[in-house]
Structure 1
Amino acid sequence: MEATYYRDWHLAKDDTEFRITELEFAMLRALEAFVRWVASADEIVGLSELKHSEHLILHVIRMQNRPKSGATIARLLNRDDLPNIQYSLRKLESSGYIKKLKEEGTKNHNYSVTQVGKKLTDDYAELRREIFIKQLKNIADFDTRVEDATNLLSLLTGIYEECSRTSSTLNRLNRSNRQS
C-alpha cells in the first residue's frame, strides 16, 4: 500500500486557497531568510548595530542618490508608522550614516547619506554581489522569472492593502454591533 502525504491547511479549502496559502507561507520564510541574510552581511560590513528596518531605510535614502523625506521613505517602504521611521532616522543620523537637510523656505527636511553611509552601503552592495547575486546566476531564466514574481508581488500588495481597508471597516461595524 502506497502512503499518501498531503498538507491540511486550515486556511485552504480549494486549490486556489491552497496555492495562495503556500505562497503566503513561502513569503514568510523568504522574509525571515532575507532578514537573516541582511543581519549577516551587516555584521561583515560594519552595520551590525542597525535593526533590519534601519538597514532598509538607509538603502532607501541612498536609492537614486538623491535626498528623501520621511514621508517618501514611508511610502517607498509601504509603511504607515512615521514616528518609528523618524526614530530610525534620528538613530541613523546620530550614527553618522545620514544627514538631515532643511528645504529652503519650508519646515520640511530631507535626508541623504553621508560619506560614511555611502561607503557602508557600497560595501554591502559589493558583498551582496559576491555572495547573493552570484548564486542567482545558476537559476534558469532568472531575469524573466524574477520580473514576473516582482509584478505578482506588487499586484498582491495592492490586493492585501485593499483587503486591509475593507477588514478595518468590517471590524468597526462588528464592534459597534456587539455594543448595542
Structure 2
Amino acid sequence: MVTGIIYWSCSLDQSVSQHVFSTPIDQQPGYSLRSLELAVQRVHEGHIRWQAECFERLSGVSLTGAEITLLLLIGEGSGSKSIKEMARITNRVDIPNIQYSLRKLASAGLTRKHGAGRSGVSYSLTEDGNRMAADMQAARNDLVRQAYPDLSGMSRELENALKVLEELAGIYGATDGTGRSSKQG
C-alpha cells in the first residue's frame, strides 16, 4: 500500500502524471498546510507555463507568464491600470520588473501608456492587446470547462479555497523575511 500525498506534476518532457510525496513531512504537524503550499506552487508553475505556451501559440509572440498576467489584468474591468494597482493585485513588490514587463508589452503593440510622472501613469490595452486578452480568456475558459463541466457546482469549495489562500497571502506578505510578522513590535 502506497502512503503519502498524491499530486499531479509536469515532468521535463511535458507529460503530466500522478506522483506520491511520501516523506517524513506528511507525518508532522502542519503537513496539510505544507501540502497546500506545494500544491499552490505547482498550480502557479503550471499556470504560468500554460499561459506562455498558449499565448505564443495564439500570437506568435513569446512572453513570460508574469507579462501575460499583467496583460490580462490590464484587460479586466474597465479603464486603465496603474503600476501600483497591478503590484497590489498581484502581490508583487518588484516595481522595476513590472515596469520592464510593461515596456515589453508596449513594444509588442499590446499596451499603451497614459499620463506622466510617478503617480499619473496608467496602462491600457491596444486593439491587439484586447484581442489577445480575449483569445487567452477564451482558451482558459475552454480548458476549465473541459476539466470541470459543472464548475458552478464547485462555487462554495472555490470560495472556501480563496479565503484560505488570501489569508496565507496576507500572512506571508506581512513577514520581514525572518519568519516574523513585520507588523509585530
Asked if TM exceeds 0.5, the reply is yes
Structure 2 runs not aligned, ≥5 long: 5-21
Distance (Å, rounded) in 2 between the aligned partners of 1:51 and 1:156: 25
Distance (Å, rounded) in 2 between the aligned partners of 1:5 and 1:106: 55
Offset of residue 8 of structure 1: 2.8
Aligned twin of 2:156: 144
Larger Rg: 1
Offset of residue 40 of structure 1: 2.6
| CA offset digits 1:117-145 (Å, max 9, x no partner) | 00011111112222223322256831111
Assess if the C-alpha contact under 8 Å between 1:39 and 1:48 holds in 2: no
The alignment's TM-score, normalised by the length of structure 2, stands at: 0.77
Offset of residue 13 of structure 1: 2.8
Q: How do 1:15-164 and structure 2 match up within 5 A?
A: 17-46=30-59, 48-102=61-115, 108-138=120-150, 141-162=153-174, 164=175
Distance (Å, rounded) in 2 between the aligned partners of 1:151 and 1:168: 22
Distance (Å, rounded) in 2 between the aligned partners of 1:12 and 1:80: 35
The alignment's TM-score, normalised by the length of structure 1, stands at: 0.79
Aligned length: 164
Corresponding residue SS for 1:165: coil
Distance (Å, rounded) in 1 between the aligned partners of 2:112 and 2:74: 10
Relative contact order (alpha carbons < 8 A, sep ≥ 6): 1 or 2 greater?
Answer: 1
Offset of residue 5 of structure 1: 3.5
Distance (Å, rounded) in 1 between the aligned partners of 2:152 and 2:109: 41
> Larger helix proportion, structure 1 or 2?
1
Matched letter for residue 13 of structure 1: Q
| CA offset digits 1:126-171 (Å, max 9, x no partner) | 1222222332225683111111111110111111122x2262779x
Distance (Å, rounded) in 2 between the aligned partners of 1:121 and 1:44: 13
- Identical counterparts, % of pairs: 29
Assess if the C-alpha contact under 8 Å between 1:67 and 1:110 holds in 2: yes
Offset of residue 47 of structure 1: 5.6
Structure 1 runs not aligned, ≥5 long: 171-180
